[in-house]
Amino acid sequence: MIIVRNKTWIVTVVLLLVALLGLAVAGCGSTTTTADPATTTTGAAKVKAGMMFSITNPPKAGGWDRADWVGVQYLKNDLGWEIAVAEGVPYPQTAGTAAGYAEKGYNPVIFPDAGQSEAFKSVPAQYPKTWFVMMSAVDALPDAPNAAAWVPDFYKYGNMVGIIAAKATKSGKIGLIGGVPVPALVILFSGAIEGAKAVNPNVEVTVSWVGDWVDLPKHKEVTNLQVQKGVDVIFADSGPGTTGVFEAAEAGNAKVIGFAADWYDDAPNAILTSALIDAAKMYKQMAEAFSNGTLKKQIYPCGFDFFRAAPFRGSVSAEVEKDITDTIAKLGSGELKIPEVTHEEINPQ
Amino acid sequence: MSSWIVSFLLATMRDAVPLIFAALGILLAERAGVLNIGVEGQMLAGALTAVVIAVLTQNVWIAVVAASITGAVIGVIQSFFTVYLPADQIVVGIAINGTCLGLTSFIYKITIDKGMQLIAPGTLQSIAPGLKDVPVIGFFASWSPLAYIAIVAVVLMYLFLFRTGPGLLLRSAGESAHAAHAAGLNVTLLRTIVLCAAGSLCGLGGAALGLAVVRSFTDNLTMGRGFIALAAVYFARWNPLLAFGACLLFGAGEALAFRAQAAGVGLNPYYYLMLPYVMTLIAVGLFGKGRGPRDAGKPYLKG
Amino acid sequence: MTSTAATIPRSSLFDRIMVVAMGRWQPLFIGGVTLILSLIVMGLCALVAGANPVTAIVAIFEGALKGRYEVLATLAEFSAISLTGLAVLIPLRTGFFNIGGQGQVELGALAAVVIGLFVTAPGWIVMIIALLGSLVAGALAAVVPLFLRVQRGASEVTTTIMMNFTCVLFMYVMVTGPLKDPKAFYGTTKLVSTAVRLPTLFEGINAGVLIALGVAVLMYLVGRYTVFGLQSTAVGCNRSAALAGGIKVDRVMVTAVLIGAAIAGLAGGVQILAFSFRVAEGWSKSWGFQGIAVGFMGGNPLGVLVVAFIFAILETGSRNMQAMTGVPAALVSLFQGLPVLIYVGLQAAIRISRWKTGAGRSRRRVVVTR
């Protein structure tokens, strides 16, 4: 029997062992995870991409996130990319997360949210060996050469939304609801106002900002206020909070145009249609450029060929539906010209 | 009445109902001497249970009962830690909040990954939606059934605490646990039962949030409403009737904050959201501590 | 007389371990068990979420400790959580529950940003003033609850929670209003200039981490070797006895609370000057609330450092786990709540079992009667 006089050193030894164990686990982990580049069937090194969403549950969250998620699935399943997705990253912490990915050797680092433009502009310069791509609207690229952006023409998209809303409304009052007033959204709403006015000069447009992407009761309240003013068609670009918009719209017999993805299954009674954005196509293009090495520092515009309206499923009469589809076609072909006006007055900043 | 005021009052009532239930729960617990800081967690758990069960059974009342049961279960867990062991009530409460936030978000994600559309039937949104536009009755018909239940609960709570024997015993356990024990009361058992009931009330508040205010669930749906209910209880000096008024007041503050922001007028909306907390601080400063339960928060150790 | 213990039982290895574990090193032992149990629960959740539990747990440690960048990120969290833990611990010694840490952090951060942006002087002077300003701002945040407790006898549990939200919301008001960066579309201030930021020292470790360590050591020394420290302990143990012994109880408590709140403010200031450089909607994590658990579990300033480090590991590691294994981000919150429950439960269970058996001492004595 060993008589231990000084108990302290037992504990110190135990502590050291625990610490070593922890570090060993961390160190050994590399041999069991797929951190080493694996080869795909084509023989190219496996691509490790990192991206971060500002909300949680991207596959079921807001319209934009769902649309992007289709693109993410394409990268994962069709191309075999390894994608690490961080969820629920608030805007001020995006830069840190992006830098973290770059540090760990992820390439490219993808920003799916226009609200992340701050991080997109500040991080690339620090990691010249990593490509940073913004898959949403941004007003300018950062100074560094390793950044590119796929920018949907949100103004044209807004035109389309405005046309649908103005043609479908019976009360002559339409509403636009946005989550956070990101610049892309201001452009989108400006396009919607102009598009609506182009087909119905007397239409009344109400713009409301909720202030965040997630607070359900708040979204419902804001929508209520619009519905009480007589608005009967609403376009909502407000992330996961859109559920609140649906509730209020349904209660008030108003219809909602969904953003970017097909929202029909979420609220069959409230949805008029959804203005779809083919984000998956954007991701396809980005992946191709990256893999072929043709990715350049530039803004890749995504024009009207990325937009279309989802099936109406009988939410409006057949003739109204035809009218809308025809007008959208005219917009796409250029026959219908809508002036480009940015309505800064709707920006609460 | 102008429609702005009607809509404002309706919003006030709607926002206040979850607060009222939660405040009753907190109040009951504190009167027995236990701090129920875990109210946020209980509300979240209640809200998630209510929405999920409502979607699965398409019956909101079963969902409401289920939410109460969930809240009660958490109350029992909380009582295990704070009454039986006992550990510090504040730390346990905050830990419960964090744990429930994590668990509810986790379960929420799993359910929607499995394809469930978490949109509950709207039965609890108002008593008689068809009567909406009738002049006076329409206003009261637009209240949720839970609002009426809440009002009844407030009255019952007041009567129970101040006009019945068991209520007196309960309050005595909060004033001085040792004296109550000396008088033959099993304080541990009492506090456990009380925490269970408080938990179910807070779970009910969560159900009100998830079924009456909105019809769905999202991560952190409560967003601090549990603490607003806590403020209401202190503001009202542990009196159920005053707490009801405080909840209405704070509900009005929330409704006002939305409207101010939407209309782009008035103060920065965050000032309105500060209202409950600042008012409580002022009330405590002006009127002192009030005759609240003296032993609230202290773990009770027999012997 | 019959002897009731004729033979001295040989103490087994288990006995020896338990004596050590339940003695001075009890917090560490309980902490270890807590960590293991928490990891098991995490693994189970990962399993439910469809991920490999071992990979998930490994991802936690990797995300926190593997790689220079990861360790630095963990240290950044550590510097915040250890200071907020101290902010709870020091007032707690005198019997005051300081739950307003989050609000004190935000106010301290706000002060640091305002000073950093608007005071013109050589960089390092502004930095010092900003740190001092964050100390003052944090202390200010505790004035109202203190006043209400001393003058009105109001329980600080309520008032500090109320003050919490008031301060956070006030910060939001500032950040969406007067201090807002006009070029931003959400509430945020401009970045504090590089001249004002805390310098990075060796190996990328920021001075902020050293500040946190220094404050903890300082508080440990104060607690054990100064009159004030001993008075605090006395006041906390038995208020009336301390009063009878001539200690100015109120003054000691007030000082302790102000010091604690100032430290929380410093936590905010350090985060700003070392890592975040601005305040915004969504800039902070829940350091204040984590500090409550850390302060309780730590027991003394050095213990706070250990527990804070573990919390920091869980924080950075779980975010990595979410990103790497697809386990939902929600588990991050679970990680903040569950270990606390387990730890507090174990601690209380042990205390009660010892109390019930009447064994006030932790060392077993072998009694031999002849």
Mean pLDDT, chain B, as a whole number? 86
What is the band of A147 on the pLDDT scale with cuts at 50, 70, 90? very high
CATH number at residue A225: 3.40.50.2300
Contact status of A209 with chain B (Cβ, < 8 Å): yes
Indicate yes or no: pTM above 0.80: yes
Residue B67 · residue B100 · CB < 8 Å: no
Residue of C64, C186, C276 lying closest to A91 (CB–CB): C186
- Residue A267 exposed, middle or buried by CB count within 10 Å (0-12, 13-18, 19+): buried
Same domain, residue pair A206 and A64: no
* Averaged pLDDT for residues C223-252: 87
Which chain A residue is nearest to residue B114, measuring alpha carbons? Answer: A60
**Model confidence at A155: pLDDT above 70:** yes
Whether residue A247 and residue B11 make contact (CB cut-off 8 A), yes or no, is no
C31 chain-A contacts, CB cut-off 8 A: none
Check residue A107 and report its DSSP letter.
B
- Interface with C, mutate which of A5, A7, A117, A188 (most C CBs under 10 A): A7
Q: Do A105 and A171 lie in a common domain?
A: no
**Chain C residue with minimal CA distance to B82?**
C345
- Residue A178 domain flag: yes
pLDDT value at C297 more than 60: yes
Beta carbons of C166 and B281 less than 8 Å apart: yes
Reported as a single tens digit per residue, the pLDDT across A243-259 is: 899 989 988 889 999 99
Pairwise CB contact (< 8 Å): A221 & B262: yes
Q: How many CB pairs under 8 A join A and B?
A: 69
Structure tokens that stand for A237 in this block: 């670009």
CB contact under 8 A, A60 and B112: yes
Contacts of A216 in chain B (CB under 8 A): 214, 216, 218, 221
Question: Quick one: which of B227, B214, B233 has its CA closest to B161?
Answer: B233
When scoring B219, B220, B228, B256 by the number of chain A Cβ atoms within 10 A, the one with the most, hence best to mutate, is B219
Shortest CB distance from B106 goes to which of C97, C328, C344? C328
Please tell me if residue A240 touches chain B, with a CB cutoff of 8 Å: yes
Q: B71: how many CB neighbours lie within 10 A of its CB?
A: 34
Q: Identify the three-state secondary structure at position C13.
A: helix
Domains contained in chain A, number: 2
What is the model's pLDDT at position A42? 42
In this structure, what token pair is assigned to residue B241?
């009737």
Query: Can you tell me the mean pLDDT for A94-118?
Result: 89
- Check C281 against A90: CB less than 8 A apart: yes
Q: Give the pLDDT confidence of C187-202 residue by residue, as tens digits.
A: 888 888 888 888 887 7
Could you tell me which chain C residue has the CA closest to the CA of A23? C65
By the 8 A CB rule, do A207 and A235 touch?
A: no
* Residues A98 and A132: beta-carbon distance below 8 Å: yes
- CA within 13 Å, CB half, A275: 24
Provide DSSP, C167-230: HHHHHHHHHHTTT--TT-SSSB-PPPPGGGSPPB-GGG-BHHHHHHHHHHHHHHHHHHHSHHHH
DSSP summary character for residue B115: T
- Specify whether A331 is located in the same domain as A249: yes
- Say whether both A186 and A92 belong to one domain: no
CB-CB neighbors (< 8 A) of A183 in chain C: 185
| Residue of C292, C334, C351 to mutate for B, most B C-beta atoms under 10 A | C334
Contact assessment for residue B270 and residue C176, using Cβ atoms and an 8 Å cutoff: yes
- Contacts with A224 from chain B: Cβ below 8 Å: 7, 11
Query: Which pLDDT belongs to residue A259?
Result: 92
Chain B closest-CA separation from residue A266 CA (Å): 7
Chain A CB contacts of B125 below 8 Å: 251
Are A197 and A321 found together in one domain? yes
Reference A64, options A132, A150, A124; nearest CA is A150
Q: Are residues A100 and A179 in the same domain?
A: no
Q: Which two tokens stand for residue A164?
A: 């649908």
Alpha-carbon distance of C340 to A109, in angstroms, equals 35
Among B227, B218, B215, which Cα is nearest to B42's?
A: B227
CATH number for B2-287 (one of 3.30.450, 3.40.720, 1.10.3470, 1.20.120): it is 1.10.3470
| DSSP code for A108 | S
* Residues of chain A found within 8 Å of residue B143, distances taken between Cβ atoms: none
**pLDDT, position C1:** 47
Closest residue in chain C to residue A211, using alpha carbons only: C186
State residue B286's pLDDT score: 80
Q: C250 and C235 in contact (C-beta within 8 Å)?
A: no
Looking at the structure, do residues A159 and A85 belong to the same domain, yes or no?
Answer: no
The verdict on residue A194 lying in a domain is yes
What length is written for chain B?
303
Mean pLDDT of B169-176: 85
Query: Could you tell me which of A60, A265, A73 has the C-alpha nearest to residue B114?
Result: A60
CA B80 to chain centre: 21
What distance in Å separates the CA atoms of residue A162 and residue A191, rounded to the nearest whole number?
7
Within this chain, do residues A60 and A90 fall inside the same structural domain, yes or no?
Answer: yes
Which amino acid is residue A139, in one-letter code?
D
State the pLDDT at residue C369: 37
At A43, the pLDDT band (50, 70, 90 cuts) reads very low
Q: Are the beta carbons of A211 and B117 separated by less than 8 Å? A: no
Local structure of residue B82 (DSSP, 8 states): I
Are A275 and A157 spatial neighbours (Cβ–Cβ below 8 Å)?
yes
| Residue A106 pLDDT exceeds 80 | yes
- Average pLDDT on A19-34 reads 43
Secondary-structure breakdown of chain A: helix, strand, coil percentages, each rounded to the nearest 5: 45, 20, 35
Tell me what the pLDDT averaged over chain A comes to: 83
A73 with A168, same domain? no
Nearest to C171 by CA among C84, C119, C113, C116: C113
User: Which residues of C are less than 8 Å from B234 in CB distance?
Assistant: 158, 162
Q: Which pLDDT score, from 0 to 100, does residue A24 have?
A: 47
Q: Cβ C185–A87 below 8 Å, yes or no?
A: no
Residues 6+ apart with CB under 8 A from A282: A71, A135, A150, A152, A300, A302, A306
**A121 and A263 within one domain:** no
Comparing CB atoms, the residue among B108, B129, B213 nearest residue A217 is B213
Return the minimum-mean-pLDDT range out of A62-76, A204-218, B29-43, C9-23: C9-23
Cα–Cα distance for residue pair C363/C368, rounded to 1 Å: 16
* Residues A269-279 pLDDT 10s: 889 999 999 98
Sheet of A173-178: strands edge to edge?
Answer: A204-209, A173-178, A233-237, A255-260, A271-277, A307-309
Which residues in chain A are contacts of C280 at CB distance < 8 A? 91-92
Residue A349 — very low, low, confident or very high, per pLDDT cuts 50/70/90? low
Asked if residues B258 and B275 have their Cβ atoms less than 8 Å apart, the reply is no
Residues of B in contact with A246 (CB under 8 A): 119
Q: Which helix (H) or strand (E) holds B246?
A: helix B240-263
Looking at the partner chain, which of C185, C283, C330 has a beta carbon nearest the beta carbon of A92?
Answer: C283
For residue B210, give Cα distances in angstroms to A317, B141, B214: 35, 20, 5
Dmax (CA) for chain C in angstroms is: 91
Query: Is the confidence at residue C264, as pLDDT, over 90?
Result: yes
Residue A228 backbone dihedrals phi, psi, to 5 degrees:
-65, -25
Q: Could you tell me which residues are beta bridge partners of residue A300?
A: A150
Cα–Cα distances in angstroms (integers) from residue C213 to residues B238, C78, C129, C218, in the given order: 43, 10, 20, 9
Closest CA to C38 of C60, C18, C22, C17: C60
C358: left (phi over 0), alpha (psi -120 to 50) or beta: left
In this predicted structure, the answer to whether residue C362 has a pLDDT above a threshold of 50 is no
CB-based contact C209:C79 (threshold 8 Å) = yes
Residues C251 and C257: their CA atoms lie apart, in Å, by: 10
The alpha-carbon gap from A53 to the nearest alpha carbon of chain C, in Å, equals 11
Residue A110 contacts residue A85 (beta carbons within 8 Å): no
Q: What is the mean pLDDT of residues C206-227?
A: 90
Q: Using the beta-carbon criterion (under 8 Å), do C337 and B219 form an inter-chain contact?
A: no
**What is the ipTM, given to two decimal places?**
0.85
Provide the residue range defining the domain that includes A169.
155-276+317-346
The predicted pLDDT at position A283 comes to 92
Interface test with C, best of A116, A118, A180 (most C CBs within 10 A): A118
User: Which residues 6+ apart lie within 8 Å of C64 measured at CB?
Assistant: A26, C70, C71, C73, C74, C312, C313, C314, C316, C317, C320
**C276 Cα to chain A: minimum distance (Å):** 8
Which residues of C fall within a CB distance of 8 Å from A72? Answer: none
**SS3 assignment, position A128:** coil
Same-domain status, A72 and A113: yes
**Residue B270 and residue C144: Cβ atoms within 8 Å?**
no
Minimal C-alpha gap between C335 and chain B (Å):
7
Q: What is the pLDDT of residue C346?
A: 82
A266 closest CB neighbour out of B117, B223, B258: B117
Q: What is the mean pLDDT of residues B41-47?
A: 95
Do A207 and A330 lie in a common domain? yes
- The confidence score (pLDDT) of residue A3 equals 38
For residue B259, the chain A residues in CB contact (below 8 A) are 221, 225
Return the pLDDT at C370: 33
A180: chain C residues, CB-CB within 8 Å: 185-186
* pLDDT tens for each residue of C98-133: 989 999 999 999 999 999 888 888 888 899 999 999
Which whole-number Å values give the CA distances from C315 to A332, C72, C98, C321, C334, in the listed order?
Answer: 49, 13, 22, 10, 11
